[in-house]
Amino acid sequence: MDKRTLGNSKLAVSAIGLGCMGMSFSYGQPADKQEMIALIRTAFERGVTFFDTAEVYGPYTNEELVGAAVAPFRDQVVIATKFGFAPAQAGEPRWSGLDSRPEHIKQAIEGSLTRLKVDTIDLLYQHRVDPNVPIEDVAGTVKELIQAGKVKHFGLSEAGVQTIRRAHAVQPVTALQSEYSLWWRKPEEAVLPTCAELGIGFVPYSPLGRGFLTGAINANTTFDQSDFRNSLPRFTPEARQANQALVDLLSRVAAQKQATPAQIALAWLLAQQPWIVPIPGTTKLTRLEENIGAAAVELTPDDLREIESAAAQITVQGARYSEQSERTTGR
């Protein structure tokens, strides 16, 4: 697979990465660990060199999974993980809110290094902006970790433009990870232009709309009781029915390109900027191969204009998060 460079950092990664969250967290019951280790290793064999995890996924178990899976080829891949959530106290929910205090960051990183079985974290994101801690303090702490050799690159997730600028002034930001896809395009308004200006790579999570843009989900789909999509306004049956128009658009283009809707959705992201690297997640080999295949799908300027024109006629229904899940999840 072709490589892409995240901004001005010279951090080269596969054009499509692998988001590992769903292997342990959020989308129903955790998958079998040995099967997921095999899947991650297959991804590497197919050319994927960019693997995304976080301490909150599981919690903790996803970092352990990724660490075990990539151990045989650690020096040939880039591992991204995240800090920023406070572990729950006795009697509280599993995670008790945000915590990016410098002392907590340093504590969290020691845990991540141990679970990942690595000496250095390639890309370390602040998982969510903590309104109680100046971003300069966060960036300064990561800068210290970089100087200490424990971290190589600094990233932010779901940060706004002013936060990005303030952090970047203290420690250059290599990548911003935020949701971006054909059904969530808000980053185009200000965040992507800022990334272009400052030389910051962009890593879209949920590039397939949490599975919706694959065409495998419709208004009648039911999710496992523990699947957090049950709590998302965009996944009510009514919203799914209304948003089917977007899947229909992808399906039409896919038929022309002898591809799948998912591949068109990923190819569209890749065509937006050469420094965009989506990280679709999956627990299935067939989906992994499908996603990787998107890197070979070429959308012409005419294709992109057709998609843009049709998408402009579609109003996506439903908020992407409920207020509760925005506060309490790592996604």
| Phi and psi torsions of 54, nearest 5° | -170, 155
Candidates 68, 150, 152, 158; CA nearest to 111 is 150
Residue 263: both structure tokens together: 């591949």
Q: How far apart are CA 54 and CA 45, in angstroms?
A: 23
Catalytic residue, chosen from 27, 57, 125, 180, is 57
Q: What is the CA 283 to chain-centroid distance, rounded?
A: 15
321 among known catalytic residues:
no
Burial 80-92 (b: 16+ CB within 10 A, else e): bbbbbbbbeeeee
**The tokens of 323 are what?**
């207020």
Q: What are the backbone angles phi and psi of residue 132, rounded to the nearest 5°?
A: -95, -5
Name 163's Cβ contacts closer than 8 Å, sequence gap at least 6.
Answer: 129, 135, 156
Just list the catalytic residues. 57
